[in-house]
Amino acid sequence: MNYYTRRQLIERLQIAHDFLRELEEEHILMRDAPAGVREEFSDVMLERARVAANLVEDLDVNLPGVAVILRMRELMAEQRRSVEVFMERLLESPPTWPGDRRR
């Protein structure tokens, strides 16, 4: 996992310092680096800030709307991972049914 300073985030995403501050105030972006690490934001937060900037700039979504969209996006990703794990387990050991003679 990579971590970034505020300045690195601003430069990499080409966003305004005020926009970064607004993302933090709305709890869209938060410091998530481990204690003792000089950088403050992980790749996850970099991606959140990138998506937020695109939503605001390209689609004129307000920050509360951005927060909802990001949460829904993350829930969908979690559900996708759960389904993938379920399918892997199902393929490893298919269920047997009562009376099934393939046991």
Tell me whether residue 39 is in a domain: yes
Query: DSSP of 4-66, one letter per residue?
Result: E-HHHHHHHHT--HHHHHHHHHTTSS---SPTT-S--EEHHHHHHHHHHHHHHHHH---HHHH
Tell me whether residue 103 is in a domain: no
- pLDDT for 103 beyond 60: no
- pLDDT for 96 beyond 90: no
Tell me whether residue 76 is in a domain: yes
Tell me whether residue 86 is in a domain: yes
Tell me whether residue 55 is in a domain: yes
* Overall average pLDDT of the 43-58 stretch: 97
Question: Domain containing 37: what range?
Answer: 3-92
Tell me whether residue 62 is in a domain: yes
Tell me whether residue 101 is in a domain: no
* Overall average pLDDT of the 83-89 stretch: 94
Tell me whether residue 8 is in a domain: yes
Number of structural domains (the chain) is 1
- 6-40 pLDDT per residue, tens: 999 999 999 999 999 999 999 999 999 999 888 99
CATH number of domain containing 32: 1.10.1660.10
